Each structure stands twice: as C-alpha cells, then as structure tokens.
Amino acid sequence: MREWRTRLRPEIVATLLLAVTGVAWAQESFNITGLRTDSVTLYKDCKMDQGVPVTKQQFQGPWPATKDPSSSLYFRVTRSGESYCVKAFSVQTDQTVRVDRDKECGAKVAGRPPKVGAVRGVGEGC
C-alpha cells in the first residue's frame, strides 16, 4: 500500500490565516466608559422584550463590549457574567468604534442629508 502525504500549499495556509484574523478583527473588543443619556436599557440576551434600565448614577463601569454582528445599532455587553445588548449611540466608549450602515432600516449614522429641490445647486459653482 502506498502512503499518501498531503502537503499544505502556501496559498491555503495564507487564506486560513487571513480568515482567522478577519474573524478576530470583526470581534474587536472595547470598553463602555459612560452613558450619553440619563438612562439606557440593557436587553438581556439581545431580546428586546427583556429590558433592564440603567441610570448614570447606577453605572459602574467600564463594561467590556463587542460589536453585535447581527446589527450595527447595538453593542454586546457582558455584565455580571450575563450577556446584554445596548444601543450603540447611547453609550461612550474608550476607543473609536466604526459603525456600519444599518442593514435593518437603511439608517446612516451622522450621514449628510440629501438636498431638497428648493435649494439644490444654489450657490454651488456659480
């Protein structure tokens, strides 16, 4: 019987390494250092019917967090060993977190509003 030896090609190894680092990059972690509003709601296991309100006075931070892969509107937070979701725009983080265009309703964060017909082109290139 012949013994078959499989040799990993460099292209395959490089592709696997890029895929693994890409997944790790997508799950970048950061800390929530404060609340932007007076009160935020933490949704247990990201179920919108199980909300727990937290006020600025109750905030004991920082909270470790990651981006929610299913929605760009929420961050995943681990608090007291339990997983929660919190609205991304209602908290402050220790580093800049890039927010992608929302897939659910097509909302843009800090986007430029479209020009309306009444002022389109006024003062531009005249």
Listed residue (79, 81, 86, 100) closest to 26, CA to CA: 100
CA distance 20 to 61: 30
List per-residue pLDDT tens for the chain, 126 residues long.
566 565 656 666 556 555 554 444 456 788 889 998 899 999 988 888 888 899 999 988 788 999 887 777 889 998 888 889 998 888 988 888 876 665 656 655 555 666 666 666 666 665
CATH code that applies to domain 30-103: 2.30.30
Predicted TM-score (pTM) of the model is 0.58
The domain spans of the chain are 30-103
